[in-house]
């Protein structure tokens, strides 16, 4: 059972179905919210969608930008080592619609307007109380956001740092918009942006430092208007808001990702300032790391120690995201010292190695999980001698053996260079340089 029907929960549900597991998703909202906090997909997430044969509709609905940014300092993505060296701008509501369609196609059941109110564990299942009665499942995964009910009911702490600033995001209409898009223009109070996502409306964002608003207080169009006037000197004729949201730079990380048969993923496990567009991407990547492992255990009774690797691999990734978003927040503070530091950073980014390092970090292409030498990194999408691509063979979320004869029921593919064992999430579990004994150990551990 998955609690939360956002991008992380929907992606995880699909992964579990590919592994042969019966899945029920519970979502407290009556329907898609229509809100779009996230607005882009990075290269590694596009690779993951490609591995599952579901990338095409996302590419068709998105817009490709060959650049990103670190704290508003431009980065060139065009040299990223991937088939997708760009940022795909696509609103979260579209992402959720496509992921939900895919999940339903795979047989996922989704029940809306159901909220979780209680949780208890036994030796072999998790029993939950909901607004529609009691339910039970072998495992429960909380994908229910930064204020996760599942995390709280499971008794998992959520330590971190509180907010130090307030940002307001509004999707609105403007009668007198700026002539060109404005991205993070700095002011004595913070910064402001006016961006066009779809014809006829604009995304307005303001960031005020050293002002921490109560997140539970109602947010109004007047508050957004006043903040925009304070920064830009005008409200550009702002009217007819589609939705408005307030957020800050609080950064928190779950003390653990698992408590018995209860697990956390996405914002339920980690929250941070949305600098560089990493939040949704990190959650989807959590789901793909967890999905095949949980499916192996739930469907095939595989050793429970496999599930421990989810936290071992993904929690350090979240730690790094929290660290780099804290750094980006610091780099946007509106003071002379920070302005001087930004000039230094902007000059450094002109060096290829610095641009490449920051770009690969934001795009999550440089993640390497603990593994013997030569393994742990993501497998590039190799062109294979038979005219296919490696990622085409990962559609079923099964391990792939590249460049060796078949064994233990694994399909074998012809390959150039060293032989490899590729995990269902596209990471390398073994390379031939490590020897036959290491292959047997990798098969035991991962397959």
pLDDT tens digits, one per residue of 241-297: 988 999 999 999 999 999 999 999 999 999 999 998 999 999 999 999 999 999 999
Same domain for 203 and 293, yes or no, is: no
Residue 19 lies in a domain: yes
pLDDT given for residue 202 in this prediction: 93
**Chosen domain end from 348, 363, 378:** 363
- Give yes or no: residues 121 and 178 share one domain: no
pLDDT at 304: 83
Which of 321, 347, 363 is a domain's end point?
363
Beta-carbon contacts of residue 254 (< 8 Å; ≥ 6 apart):
151, 156, 157, 158, 264, 268, 269, 270, 315
The answer on 132 and 42 residing in a single domain is yes
Task: Tell me, yes or no, whether 150 and 285 share the same domain.
Answer: yes
CA–CA dist 202, 219 (Å, integer): 18
* CATH code where residue 132 lies: 3.50.50.60
Report d(CA 148, CA 50) in Å as an integer: 30
Extract the tokens encoding 302: 């595989």
Clarify whether residues 48 and 16 are in a common domain: yes
Token pair recorded at residue 297:
């255990």
Prediction pTM value: 0.96
Question: Would 376 be classed as within a structural domain?
Answer: no
**Please, which residues bridge with residue 412 across strands?**
401
Residue 187: give its domain's CATH number: 3.30.70.2450
Q: Domain of 207?
A: 165-248
Q: Are 150 and 193 part of one and the same domain?
A: no
CB burial of residue 298 (10 Å; 0-12, 13-18, 19+):
buried
Closest residue by Cα to residue 148 from 257, 244, 248: 257
410: which strand partners?
Answer: 407
User: In the prediction, which pLDDT does 302 show?
Assistant: 67
Say if residue 50 is in the same domain as residue 155.
yes
Residues 15 and 128 in one domain: yes
Distance CA 19, CA 37 (A): 30
412 and 305 housed in the same domain: no
Q: Tell me what pLDDT residue 215 has.
A: 77
Q: Which two tokens stand for residue 60?
A: 């068709």
Do 150 and 40 share a structural domain? yes
On whether both 301 and 260 belong to a single domain, the answer is yes
Q: What are phi and psi of 84, to 5 degrees?
A: -125, 70
Task: List, for the chain, all residue ranges whose pLDDT scores fall below the cut of 70.
Answer: 33-35, 302, 409, 411
- With contact defined as beta carbons under 8 Å apart, do 269 and 257 qualify? yes
Q: Which of 39, 45, 40, 32 is nearest to 6 (CA)?
A: 32
Reduce the secondary structure of the chain to three states and give it as a string.
CEECCCHHHHHHHHHHHHCCCCCEEEECCCCCCCCCCCCEECHHHHHHHHHCCCCHHHHHHCEEECEEEECCEEEECCCCCCCCCCEEECCHHHHHHHHHHHHHHCCCEEEECCCEEEEEECCCCEEEEECCEEEEECCEEECCCCCCHHHHHCCCCCCEECCCEEEEEEEEEECCCCCCCEEEEECCCEEEEEEEEECCEEEEEEEEECCCCCCCCCCCHHHHHHHHHHHHCCCCCEEEEEEEEEEECCEEECCCCEECCEEECHHHCEECCCCCCCHHHHHHHHHHHHHHHHHHHHHHCCCCHHHHHHHHHHHHHHHHHHHHHHHHHHCCCCCHHHHHHHHHHHHHHCCHHHHHHHHHHHHCCCCECCCCCCCCEECCCCECCCCCEHHHHHCCCCCEEECCCCECCECEECCCCCCEEECCCCEEEEEHHHCHHHHHHHHHHHC
**How many domains would you assign to the chain?**
3
- Domain contains 374: no
Query: In the prediction, which pLDDT does 393 show?
Result: 95
């Amino acid at each position: 059972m998955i609690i939360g029907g956002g991008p992380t929960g929907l992606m995880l549900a699909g992964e579990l179905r590919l592994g042969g597991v019966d899945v029920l998703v519970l979502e407290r909202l009556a329907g898609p919210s229509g809100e779009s906090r996230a607005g882009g997909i990075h290269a590694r997430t596009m690779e993951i969608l490609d591995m599952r044969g579901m990338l095409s509709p996302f590419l068709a609905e998105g817009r490709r930008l060959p650049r990103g940014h670190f704290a508003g300092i431009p980065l060139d993505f065009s040299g990223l080592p991937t088939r997708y060296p760009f940022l795909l701008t696509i609103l979260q509501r579209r992402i959720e619609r496509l992921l939900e369609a895919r999940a339903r196609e795979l047989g996922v059941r989704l029940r809306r307007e159901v909220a979780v109110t209680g949780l208890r564990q036994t030796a072999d299942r998790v029993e939950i109380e909901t607004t529609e009665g009691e339910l039970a499942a072998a495992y429960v995964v909380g994908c229910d956001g930064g204020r996760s009910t599942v995390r709280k009911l499971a008794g998992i702490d959520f330590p971190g740092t509180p907010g130090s600033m307030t940002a307001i995001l509004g999707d609105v209409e403007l009668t007198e918009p700026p002539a060109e898009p404005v991205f993070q223009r700095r002011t004595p109070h913070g910064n402001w942006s006016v961006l066009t996502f779809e014809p006829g409306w604009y995304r307005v964002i303001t960031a005020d430092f050293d002002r921490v608003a109560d997140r539970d207080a109602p947010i109004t169009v007047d508050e957004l208007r006043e903040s925009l006037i304070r920064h830009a000197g005008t409200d550009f004729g702002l009217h007819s808001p589609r939705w408005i949201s307030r957020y800050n730079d609080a950064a928190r990380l779950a003390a653990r990702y698992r408590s018995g048969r209860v697990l956390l993923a996405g914002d339920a496990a980690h929250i941070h300032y949305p600098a560089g567009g990493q939040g949704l991407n990190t959650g989807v990547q959590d789901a793909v790391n967890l999905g095949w492992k949980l499916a192996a255990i739930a469907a095939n009774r595989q050793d429970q120690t496999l599930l421990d690797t989810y936290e071992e691999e993904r929690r350090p990734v979240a730690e790094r995201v929290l660290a780099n978003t804290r750094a980006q927040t610091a780099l946007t503070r509106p003071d002379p010292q920070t302005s001087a530091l930004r000039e230094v950073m902007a000059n450094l980014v002109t060096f290829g190695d610095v641009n490449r390092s920051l770009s690969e970090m934001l795009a999550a292409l440089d993640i390497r999980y603990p593994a013997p030498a030569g393994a742990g990194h993501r497998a590039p999408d190799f062109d294979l001698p038979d005219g296919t691509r490696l990622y085409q063979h990962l559609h079923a979320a099964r391990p792939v053996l590249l460049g060796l004869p078949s064994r233990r029921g694994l399909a074998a593919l012809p390959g150039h260079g060293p032989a490899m064992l590729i995990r269902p999430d596209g990471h390398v579990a073994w390379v031939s340089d490590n020897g036959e004994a290491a292959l047997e150990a990798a098969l035991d551990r991962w397959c």
